[in-house]
């Protein structure tokens, strides 16, 4: 083949690939069509295009669930002739889809493949699934399956429980957070070994909750459990990290009746809050009454720092916006 013919052939292939990509981007592609194309790319080792088509497939499946596509993924994962590297890509796809059906597959895979190299990959995808906030939302629909896996007495592998606990906290559904708080308080019926494992996981992941819908349950545990037990400590940590007005108000309400020994916790929590409206709520709390003078001192100290910071910001803003008068 001469150089001109070879060049024409390459150009033709390039046009064909671009045409295929353009076709895939059409709005009328069904999940089944996208899945078929994704499978073809995997078979041809077109690794650059796989993530692009995978994102499109995930978006389409979220809006138009197709059991046949999920079954196709499951079938490929169980085929012994599929390379482990390709199965790893399939696991990544499930994490990208991040629907209850995808989550069920990850949970089942993690339980069945404990002696497989895919086990760690499945756990990683499982632990991160709550971080996938597609459409900018926390996806509470994932929580029931995660809660069921957490409470199942047959699931006692520490790595599996760690992944599930992290996902529950990341999703942050009130029911899931409640379950984690019950665990950290020791109010569950697991064996002693499993109970300790779950408590360690729950203690670590509860402060990572960011879903505003969990504020109420966190506030309840903060106020109703005695200081010095794990549940109030992690609840306060989570509320401070959420840092909204509502979350901050839960901390302030707790502080009104808090004992003197809670001053250290309160100081730590208030120092983490940086939302302007929440900081204003702390400043206004100086007018409230507090049972312990030590607690009142922490509130007053925080309010003074907040007011001073606001004054400095206002001064800097005024200087930055000063108008230079033209010379006469």
pLDDT, tens digit (0-9, with 9 covering 90-100), for 151-198: 998 888 999 999 999 999 999 999 999 999 999 998 777 788 888 999
Distances (CA, A) of 131 to 235, 239, 276: 20, 18, 25
Residue that is written with structure tokens 């002693």 in the block: 192
**Tens digit of pLDDT for each residue in 77-129?**
999 899 999 999 999 999 999 999 999 999 999 887 667 788 999 999 999 99
Q: What pLDDT is attached to residue 27?
A: 60
Residues recorded for the chain: 328
Q: Where are the domains of the chain?
A: 26-137
Cα separation, 189 vs 169, whole angstroms:
21
Joined together, the tokens standing for residue 325 give 């008068």
**23 confidence band (pLDDT: 50, 70, 90):** low
* pTM of the predicted protein model: 0.86
In this predicted structure, the answer to whether residue 148 has a pLDDT above a threshold of 70 is: yes
Report which DSSP code applies to 188. Answer: S
Distances (CA, A) of 70 to 15, 113, 198: 31, 18, 31
Find the mean pLDDT for residues 59-87: 94
Residues 6+ apart with CB under 8 A from 220: none
Q: What pLDDT is attached to residue 13?
A: 47
Q: What pLDDT is attached to residue 321?
A: 45
């Amino acid at each position: 083949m001469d150089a001109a013919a070879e060049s024409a052939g390459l150009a033709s292939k390039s046009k064909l690939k671009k045409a295929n990509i353009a076709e895939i981007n059409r709005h009328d592609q069904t999940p089944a069509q996208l899945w078929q194309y994704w499978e073809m790319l995997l078979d041809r080792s077109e690794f650059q295009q796989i993530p692009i088509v995978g994102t499109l497939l995930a978006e389409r499946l979220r809006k138009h669930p197709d059991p046949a596509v999920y079954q196709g993924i499951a079938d490929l994962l169980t085929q012994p002739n599929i390379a482990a590297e390709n199965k790893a890509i399939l696991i990544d796809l499930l994490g990208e889809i991040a629907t209850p059906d995808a989550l069920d597959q990850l949970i089942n895979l993690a339980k069945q493949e404990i002696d497989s190299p895919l086990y760690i990959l499945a756990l990683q995808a499982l632990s991160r699934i709550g971080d996938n906030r597609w459409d900018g939302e926390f996806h509470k629909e994932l929580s029931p399956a995660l809660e069921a896996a957490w409470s199942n007495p047959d699931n006692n592998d520490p790595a599996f429980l760690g992944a599930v606990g992290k996902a529950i906290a990341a999703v942050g559904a009130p029911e899931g957070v409640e379950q984690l708080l019950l665990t950290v308080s020791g109010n569950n019926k697991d064996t002693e070994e499993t109970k300790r494992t779950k408590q360690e996981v729950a203690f670590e992941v509860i402060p990572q909750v960011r879903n505003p819908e969990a504020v109420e349950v966190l506030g309840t545990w903060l106020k109703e459990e005695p200081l010095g037990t794990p549940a109030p400590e992690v609840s306060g940590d989570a509320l401070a990290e959420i840092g909204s007005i509502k979350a901050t108000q839960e901390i302030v309400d707790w502080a009104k009746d808090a004992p003197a020994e809670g001053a250290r916790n309160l100081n730590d929590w208030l120092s983490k809050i940086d939302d302007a409206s929440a900081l204003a709520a702390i400043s206004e709390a100086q007018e409230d009454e507090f049972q312990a003078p030590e607690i009142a001192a922490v509130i007053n100290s925080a309010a003074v720092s907040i007011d001073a910071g606001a004054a400095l910001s206002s001064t800097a803003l005024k200087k930055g916006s000063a108008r230079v008068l033209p010379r006469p």
